[in-house]
C-alpha cells in the first residue's frame, strides 16, 4: 500500500473520532470564561481606583467594606477560571469516550453501566452550572447598568448642562446608609472623572465580562444538548449490544441443538 494512502487513512480515522460538538462547546466555554475572568478582574480593579480617586473612599481593615468584597470577588474569579478549565477537560474526555463507544460498538469496546451513569451525572452537573452562570450574568449586568448611566451622562455633558444629578453610592448598597458618598454633575470631581480613562475603560471591561458570562451560558446549553444526545446514543447502543448478544446466544444454542440431533441420527444409523 502507498505510504501516502496509509497516512491519509490514518488521519481520516483519527479525525472521525474527534467529538466536534464537544470541541466547539469547550472552545466557547474557555473563551467565555477567559473573557469574564480577565475583564471582570480588571474591571474590579478599575472600580477600586474610581472609588478611591473620585468618591474619596478609604479602605478600612476593621470592617467588611466594599474593597474587601471586591478582593473576595477577585479570588472567586480565580477559582472559577481554574474550576471550569478542569471541567472543560472532563467534558472533552466524556465526549471522546462516548464517540469511541458508538464507533466501536461492534468491536472489543464494551459500554458499561458506569459510563451511562457518568454521562447522566455530567448532564445534571452541567444543568446546575448553567443556572449558576445565568445568575452570574444577571449579577454582572448590575455594574454595567450603573456604569452606563454615569458614562451616558458624561457623553452628554452639554445636554445635561444646567441640571444637577447626583450619584449616591447608598442607592446601590455599596456603602452603609450612614455614610454619604456621592458625586454630582456640577462638581469639578465629576468632570475630572468623565475626562479620565478609568471610567470609560472600566465600563467597557464590565461589558466584555457580561459578554463572556453570556458566552459561558451558551456553552453550557450547547453542552447540555451534546450530553443529552450522547446519553441517548449510548443508551440505544447498549440496547443494540444486548440484542446482538441475545441473538448470538440463541444462534449458538440452535447450532448446538442441530449438532446434537445430527450426532443422534448418525449414531442411530450406525
Q: Where are the domains of the chain?
A: 22-141+198-235
Number of other CB atoms surrounding residue 237 within 10 Å: 19
d(CA 15, CA 18): 5
Q: Supply 114's cell numbers.
A: 458506569
Which of 90, 32, 60 has the alpha carbon at shortest distance from 221? 32
- The model's pLDDT over 104-127, given as tens digits with 9 standing for 90+, comes to 544 444 455 566 777 788 899 999
Highest mean pLDDT among 16-20, 76-80, 194-198, 259-263: 76-80
Global pTM exceeds 0.75: yes
- Mean pLDDT along residues 192-200: 86
What is the structure's pLDDT at 187? 80
Residues 59-72, mean pLDDT to the nearest whole number:
81
- Rounded Cα distance between 234 and 99, Å, is 9
Task: Give just the sign of the alpha carbon dihedral 88, 92, 98, 101.
Answer: negative
Mean pLDDT of 232-255: 67
Cα–Cα dist 43/204, whole Å: 8
Can you give the pLDDT at residue 55? 81
What average pLDDT score do residues 141-157 get?
85
Place 26 in a pLDDT band, splitting at 50, 70 and 90: very high
> Of all residues in the chain, what percent carry a pLDDT higher than 70?
71
pLDDT higher at 231 or 216: 216
Out of 54-63, 86-95, 154-163, least confident range: 154-163
For the chain, give the mean pLDDT.
79
Q: What's residue 95's pLDDT?
A: 78
Which residues, in sequence order, are bridge partners of residue 183? 167
- Residue located via cell numbers 467529538: 19
Task: Tell me the residue length of the chain.
Answer: 270
Predicted confidence at residue 211, as pLDDT, reads 96
Lowest mean pLDDT among 33-42, 168-177, 261-270: 261-270
Q: Residue 186: which residues within 8 A CB-CB, separation 6 or more? A: 164
CA distance 232 to 202: 45
Amino acid at each position: 500500500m502507498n505510504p501516502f494512502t496509509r497516512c491519509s487513512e490514518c488521519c481520516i480515522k483519527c479525525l472521525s473520532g474527534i467529538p466536534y460538538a464537544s470541541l466547539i462547546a469547550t472552545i466557547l466555554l474557555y473563551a467565555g470564561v477567559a473573557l469574564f475572568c480577565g475583564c471582570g478582574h480588571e474591571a474590579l480593579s478599575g472600580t477600586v481606583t474610581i472609588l478611591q480617586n473620585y468618591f474619596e473612599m478609604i479602605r478600612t481593615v476593621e470592617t467588611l467594606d466594599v474593597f474587601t468584597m471586591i478582593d473576595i470577588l477577585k479570588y472567586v474569579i480565580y477559582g472559577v477560571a481554574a474550576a471550569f478549565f478542569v471541567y472543560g477537560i472532563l467534558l472533552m474526555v466524556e465526549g471522546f469516550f462516548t464517540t469511541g463507544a458508538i464507533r466501536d460498538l461492534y468491536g472489543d469496546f464494551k459500554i458499561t453501566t458506569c459510563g451511562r451513569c457518568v454521562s447522566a451525572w455530567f448532564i445534571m452537573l452541567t444543568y446546575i452550572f448553567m443556572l449558576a452562570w445565568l445568575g452570574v450574568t444577571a449579577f454582572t449586568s448590575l455594574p454595567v447598568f450603573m456604569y452606563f448611566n454615569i458614562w451616558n451622562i458624561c457623553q452628554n455633558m452639554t445636554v445635561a448642562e444646567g441640571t444637577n444629578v447626583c450619584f449616591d453610592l447608598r442607592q446601590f448598597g455599596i456603602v452603609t446608609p450612614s455614610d454619604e458618598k456621592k458625586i454630582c454633575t456640577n462638581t469639578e470631581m465629576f468632570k475630572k472623572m468623565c475626562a479620565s480613562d478609568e471610567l470609560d475603560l472600566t465600563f467597557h471591561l464590565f461589558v466584555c465580562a457580561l459578554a463572556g458570562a453570556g458566552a459561558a451560558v451558551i456553552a453550557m446549553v450547547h453542552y447540555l444538548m451534546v450530553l443529552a444526545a450522547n446519553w441517548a446514543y449510548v443508551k440505544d447502543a447498549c440496547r443494540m449490544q444486548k440484542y446482538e448478544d441475545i441473538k448470538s446466544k440463541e444462534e449458538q444454542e440452535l447450532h448446538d441443538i442441530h449438532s446434537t440431533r445430527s450426532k443422534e441420527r448418525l449414531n442411530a444409523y450406525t
